Amino acid sequence: MSTLELENISKSFGELTILDHLDLRVNDGEFVSLLGPSGSGKSTIFHLIGGLYQADHGTIRLDNEAINGKKGSISYMPQTPSLFPWRTVLENVVLSVELHQKPDKQKALEMLERAGLKDYANAYPHELSGGMRQRVAFVRSLLSPQSFICLDEPFSALDEFTRLEMQKWLLTIWEQERPSVLFVTHNIEEAIFLSDRILVLGSKPANVIKEFTIDFKRPRNEELTLTQEFLEKKKEIYQTLRGVLND
């Protein structure tokens, strides 16, 4: 069980201020998505949470414990899947489990099968397409033992159909285990379908300019995306984002 808090976070690269006193919170078992223009600082936020970057100011807390600059506290799927080229698909997906306990290879194989990668367990990353690599990284993040998961555009390289399958699968797992999730996407429908809350970021510097509560009942199925209520929510968020892009 995990709660994440970003308090007063600032981050600059040289003269460029990306985040300026950003506050953000993900409650225990909550699914929160970040939507915002390209270059607004979403991946930077993830790098800070994952401990890859150090914030200039502010505190990042996981269950009330400061984790600034600390790696390994959360499960983190970066925007560009970073797989080890010398490890097979199966060896890659059990990597983060391995650091903590003996990996359950059977479970890993079942998850690879679910992700449509059954025949590739013993292949190496260079033998996979971009979308397949992305799914390997996704499976790895789901297998990680940490109960807080950060997913940075996990489905961006997938075709519509595979993407929907992965979204539904993610929801099934999320409903069973209720990890806390922070999710980045450019796809408004995906954000509404998955989330409890959507935060829209403005840029330069990034801040949460609007928050949407998504209270469609769960479990959710794809018919939801065709309802009037869903389309109205989509329109509302679309207009907010368009406002940000025109700023």
Ligand X SMILES: Nc1ncnc2c1ncn2[C@@H]1O[C@H](COP(=O)(O)OP(=O)(O)OP(=O)(O)O)[C@@H](O)[C@H]1O
- The torsion angles phi and psi of 196, rounded to 5 degrees, stand at -90, -30
Q: Which is nearer to ligand X, 142 or 201 (CB)?
A: 201
User: Can residue 33 be called a binding residue for ligand X (CB under 6 A)?
Assistant: no
By a kind-dependent CB cut-off of 5 to 8 A, residue 41 interacts, out of ligand X, Mg ion, none, with ligand X
Provide the phi-psi class of 27: left if phi over 0, else alpha when psi is between -120 and 50, else beta.
beta
What kind and span of H or E run contains 148?
strand 148-152
DSSP state of 222: G
Residues binding ligand X: what is the number (CB under 6 A)? 11
**Residues with Cβ within 8 Å of residue 114, at least 6 apart in sequence:** 169
Distance CA 135, CA 116 (A): 9
User: Can residue 79 be called a binding residue for Mg ion (CB under 5 A)?
Assistant: yes
User: Can residue 15 be called a binding residue for ligand X (CB under 6 A)?
Assistant: no
**Residues with Cβ within 8 Å of residue 234, at least 6 apart in sequence:** 188, 189, 192
> Of 215, 209, 221, 207, which Cα lies nearest the Cα of 41?
207
> What is the x/- site pattern for Mg ion, positions 22-61, by CB under 5 A?
--------------------xx------------------
Residue span binding ligand X (CB under 6 A) among the ranges 34-42, 56-64, 219-227, 233-241:
34-42
Give the E-state strand segments of 49-142 in sequence order: 57-62, 65-66, 75-77
Q: Terminal CA-to-CA distance of the chain, rounded, Å? A: 38
Q: Which is nearer to ligand X, 40 or 207 (CB)?
A: 40
Query: Considering only residues 2, 33, 40, 75, which one is a binding residue for ligand X as defined by CB under 6 A?
Result: 40
Residue span binding ligand X (CB under 6 A) among the ranges 31-39, 54-62, 67-75, 170-178:
31-39
User: Can residue 239 be called a binding residue for ligand X (CB under 6 A)?
Assistant: no
> What is the x/- site pattern for ligand X, positions 45-84, by CB under 6 A?
----------------------------------x-----
> What is the x/- site pattern for ligand X, positions 154-193, by CB under 6 A?
----------------------------------------
Strands 148-152 and 180-184: parallel
Interface contacts to ligand X, rule CB under 6 A: 13, 18, 36, 38-44, 79
Interface contacts to Mg ion, rule CB under 5 A: 42-43, 79
